[in-house]
C-alpha cells in the first residue's frame, strides 16, 4: 500500500500518541508506584531518651536563650566600632561678597581604653548569655530525664496494679470454691471481693498517674501527652554515680552562671573607670572669606573639662555591683556543693534500697504469697492471711518502684547541677550520658 506524503504527518502523530499512552499506562519495569505521602498516617516511632532530649532542646524556651546568645555576639561585634565623625557647615552673612563659609570635619578620639573596656564588657555579656544557655539546656535535659523515667515508672505501676488485680481475682475464685464447699464463711468471700475492688481502684489510679506523667513529658518535648509513646527502657539499670570529689571539683551550672555575672560586672566597672577620662575631638576644615577672596585651613581641638562630672557615682555603683556578684559567686559555690552532696546521698540511698528490694524483699514476698494462697486452698490459712500476703507483695513492689523513681530523680538533680554542658552534647542530639 502506498502512503501519500500528505498523510505522513498525521500517521506519525497518531503513532506517537498511541506509544506515549502505552508507556504512561504501564509502570517502568522494576519500579513500584508509590502512594501519596499523606495517603496513610505513619505512626511515630517510640521515643528513647536521647530523642526526647533532642526534641526538648528544640523547644521555644531553649531557642529564646539561643537568640540571646546571637544578640550578644552581635553586640560584641558592635562594641569594637569607632565613633563616627561629624561634618559641620557654617555660613556667616547673607550678602554675596561679604559671607564667610566654613566646612569642618570633627573626629572624636576615645582615650583611657574606652573601646577596649567596651569590648571586654560585650565579651562578658556574651559569655554570660552562653552560660545562661548552657544552664537552660542542662535544666531542660534534667527535666526530660526525670519525666522520662517518671513515665516509665508510672507504666510499671500500672502493670503492677494490674497484676495485683489478677491476684485478687484469683483469691476471689479460691474463696468462692471454698465457700461452695462449705469450708469457709461467706464473709471471707466478701473480704476477698473487697480486696479485688481495691485492686481495681488502684489500677484506675495508676492509669491516671501515667496520663499525668505523659502530659508533663509531652509539654517538654512539644507533643500532646496522649501521643507520647516511649520505647521500653530498663529502669532497673541505674547508672554508676561519679565520685563525690569529682562532682564537687567541677563547676556546676549555677556557679558558672555566677562566675559569668561577676566577669560582666568587673568589665562594667572598667567601662565606668575609663569613662572618667575625657575624650578629645579633633577638627579639620576649610574656611572661605569672600571679602578677602581666599580659603584658609581650620584646625581645632576640643577637650571636655571634668569639673562637675567625673563619673564617680557610676564607678562606685559598678564596683559595689561587682562586690555583690563576688558574694553571689561564693554563695552559689556553697549552695551547689550542698545540693550536689544532697543529691548524691539521695541517689546512693535510693539505689541501695532498690537493690535490696529487688534481690531480697520481692522474691520473699512473691514466695510468701504463693505459699499462703496454696495453704488457703488446703485449709491451712485463712483469707486474712492471703489478703495480708497479697497486700505485702503489692507494697513491696510499690516501694521498689518508689525507690527507682527517687533514684532517677536524684540522678536528674545531679545532671541538672553537674551534667553535660552544651559542648558535651553531640550535634545529632545523642547524649553522652543516660
Query: What's the pLDDT score for residue 421?
Result: 55
Torsion, Cα 269 271 276 279, to 10 degrees, reads 180
Q: Residue 163 has which C-alpha cell? A: 497484676
Q: Is the pLDDT of residue 170 over 50?
A: yes
pLDDT in tens, 194-212: 888 888 898 899 899 999 9
Question: 98-133: string of b/e by CB count within 10 Å (b at 16+)?
Answer: eeeebbbebeeebeeebbebbbbbbbbbbbbbbbbb
Interior angle at CA 79, CA 76 and CA 80, nearest 5 = 105
Q: Residue 35 has which C-alpha cell? A: 502512594
pLDDT in tens, 396-430: 888 999 999 999 999 999 988 887 654 444 333 34
Nearest alpha-carbon partner for 250 in 420, 22, 53 = 420
Half-sphere exposure (CA, 13 Å, Cβ side) for 346? 18
The pTM score is 0.74
Strands 280-289 vs 86-92: parallel, antiparallel or unpaired: unpaired
pLDDT category, 350, cuts 50, 70, 90? very high
Return d(Cα 369, Cα 393) in angstroms, integer. 7
Q: Residue 143 has which C-alpha cell? A: 527535666
Query: What's the pLDDT score for residue 36?
Result: 32
Nearest alpha-carbon partner for 375 in 166, 171, 176 = 171
Whether the CB-CB separation of 174 and 165 falls below 8 Å is answered with no
Amino acid at each position: 500500500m502506498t502512503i501519500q506524503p500528505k498523510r505522513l504527518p498525521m500517521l506519525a502523530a497518531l503513532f506517537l500518541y498511541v506509544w506515549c499512552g502505552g508507556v504512561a499506562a504501564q509502570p517502568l519495569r522494576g519500579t513500584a508506584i508509590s502512594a501519596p505521602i499523606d495517603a496513610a498516617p505513619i505512626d511515630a516511632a517510640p521515643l528513647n531518651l536521647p530523642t526526647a532530649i533532642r526534641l526538648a532542646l528544640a523547644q521555644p524556651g531553649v531557642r529564646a536563650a539561643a537568640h540571646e546568645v546571637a544578640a550578644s555576639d552581635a553586640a560584641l561585634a558592635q562594641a569594637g566600632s569607632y565613633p563616627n565623625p561629624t561634618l559641620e557647615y557654617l555660613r556667616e552673612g547673607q550678602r554675596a561678597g561679604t559671607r564667610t563659609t566654613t566646612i569642618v570635619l570633627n573626629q572624636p578620639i576615645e582615650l583611657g581604653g574606652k573601646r577596649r573596656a567596651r569590648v571586654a564588657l560585650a565579651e562578658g555579656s556574651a559569655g554570660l548569655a552562653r552560660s545562661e544557655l548552657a544552664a537552660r539546656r542542662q535544666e531542660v535535659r534534667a527535666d526530660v530525664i526525670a519525666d522520662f523515667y517518671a513515665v516509665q515508672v508510672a507504666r510499671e505501676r500500672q502493670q503492677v496494679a494490674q497484676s495485683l488485680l489478677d491476684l485478687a481475682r484469683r483469691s476471689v475464685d479460691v474463696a468462692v470454691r471454698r465457700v461452695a464447699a462449705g469450708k469457709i464463711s461467706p464473709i471471707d468471700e466478701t473480704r476477698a471481693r473487697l480486696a479485688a475492688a481495691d485492686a481495681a481502684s488502684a489500677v484506675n489510679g495508676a492509669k491516671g498517674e501515667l496520663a499525668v506523667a505523659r502530659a508533663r513529658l509531652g509539654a517538654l518535648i512539644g507533643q500532646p501527652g496522649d501521643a507520647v509513646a516511649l520505647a521500653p527502657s530498663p529502669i532497673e539499670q541505674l547508672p554508676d554515680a561519679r565520685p563525690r570529689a569529682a562532682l564537687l571539683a567541677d563547676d556546676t551550672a549555677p556557679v558558672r552562671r555566677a562566675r559569668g555575672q561577676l566577669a560582666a560586672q568587673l568589665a562594667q566597672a572598667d567601662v565606668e573607670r575609663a569613662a572618667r577620662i575625657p575624650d578629645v575631638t579633633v577638627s579639620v576644615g576649610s574656611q572661605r572669606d569672600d571679602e578677602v577672596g581666599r580659603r584658609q585651613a581650620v584646625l581645632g581641638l576640643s577637650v571636655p573639662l571634668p569639673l562637675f562630672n567625673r563619673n564617680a557615682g557610676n564607678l562606685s555603683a559598678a564596683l559595689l555591683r561587682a562586690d555583690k556578684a563576688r558574694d553571689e559567686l561564693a554563695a552559689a559555690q556553697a549552695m551547689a556543693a550542698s545540693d550536689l552532696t544532697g543529691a548524691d546521698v539521695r541517689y546512693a540511698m535510693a539505689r541501695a534500697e532498690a537493690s535490696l528490694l529487688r534481690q531480697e524483699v520481692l522474691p520473699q514476698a512473691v514466695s510468701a504469697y504463693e505459699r499462703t494462697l496454696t495453704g488457703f486452698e488446703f485449709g491451712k490459712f485463712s483469707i486474712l492471711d492471703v489478703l495480708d500476703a497479697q497486700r505485702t507483695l503489692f507494697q513491696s513492689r510499690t516501694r521498689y518502684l518508689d525507690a527507682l523513681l527517687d533514684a532517677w530523680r536524684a540522678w536528674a538533680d545531679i545532671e541538672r547541677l553537674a551534667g553535660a554542658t552544651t559542648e558535651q552534647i553531640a550535634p545529632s542530639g545523642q547524649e553522652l550520658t543516660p
